Amino acid sequence: MVLPKIAVAFAALTLVGLGDATPCKIKKSKKCVATNLIQNPSFDTESDGDFDGAPWRLEDDGKNPKVTVSEDVVLARTGEHLAYVHHPYPLNDPWPCVFLTLLHSFFDIDSETQRPRIIQSVSKIKTGKTYDLVYYSLVAKGQPKAAAECFTYVTLYDGQVFQSKQITAPVTLDTYSKQQVSFNATGSKTEIEIGVLCQNDAGDGVQVAIDDVSLYEEDPKCPPPSE
């Protein structure tokens, strides 16, 4: 019969064609991940043999300014270091000596005029784009009353962008909370300032830790890495 021969011939041609075919390579598109514009975001980068927070600048307006980076694997959110602030204890309070021994760093504030802060100059910002600045803050000690007006705050572009979060009792101690500031860039570079202040009275004192600072452009096609 003719039909079986045709069927066999077709099958042979089909098998030969498959054997000689070149496999099709599917190119996988690389996933875009945004770059954090903050340098040394977790304060764990060593500079000249010291963990001093560089390129962050540590500043305070007080008579005895001292705001430092602390090595504390317990309080640090990630890594082993954090920016540690101590605001303010009475001069006869024994706690500063204890924290000097345990943390190797602190700053004293005996006046509401003091403004302990960390500052970093950031470039490569695209004018007109929207950015998200995120940092994590922890209160290690202190239950300031509302009237004390104690805050963590952020300023950018010489104060054009300002956001604050009040620290008011009851405060859950030793627990990090996420703080976020979104802004439209008005220039290609800015100084980011994150600080703590008590405008009136801090009572028995407030201790605050800052860790894991990030600055990302808002771009759905290139999101920041997941935490």
Structure-model confidence comparison of residues 137 and 131, the more confident one: 131
Q: Place 9 in a pLDDT band, splitting at 50, 70 and 90.
A: very low
Q: How confident is the model at residue 83 (pLDDT cuts 50, 70, 90)?
A: low
**H, E, C per residue of 78-135:** CCCEEEEEEECCCCCCCHHHHHHHHHCCCCCCCCCCCCCEEEEEECCCCCCCEEEEEE
- The pLDDT value recorded for residue 78 is 54
pTM for the model stands at: 0.70
Average pLDDT over residues 100-117: 48
Q: State the pLDDT at residue 74.
A: 44
Residue 117 has a pLDDT of: 84
* Chain segment 12-58, per-residue pLDDT in tens: 434 444 455 566 666 666 778 889 999 988 877 666 666 667 888 88
Average pLDDT on 211-215 reads: 91
pLDDT tops 60 at residue 90: no
- pLDDT at res. 104: 27
Q: Please report, rounded to a whole number, the percentage of residues in the chain having pLDDT higher than 90.
A: 26
pLDDT in the model for residue 103 = 29
pLDDT at 101: 25
Which residue segments constitute the domains of the chain, with CATH numbers given?
A: 57-217 (2.60.120.260)
CB 167 within 8 A of CB 152: yes
pLDDT of residue 148: 83
Place of tokens 């802004």: 183
Is 85:153 a contact under the CB 8 Å cutoff? no
pLDDT at position 156: 93
Most confident residue range from 20-34, 154-168, 202-216: 154-168
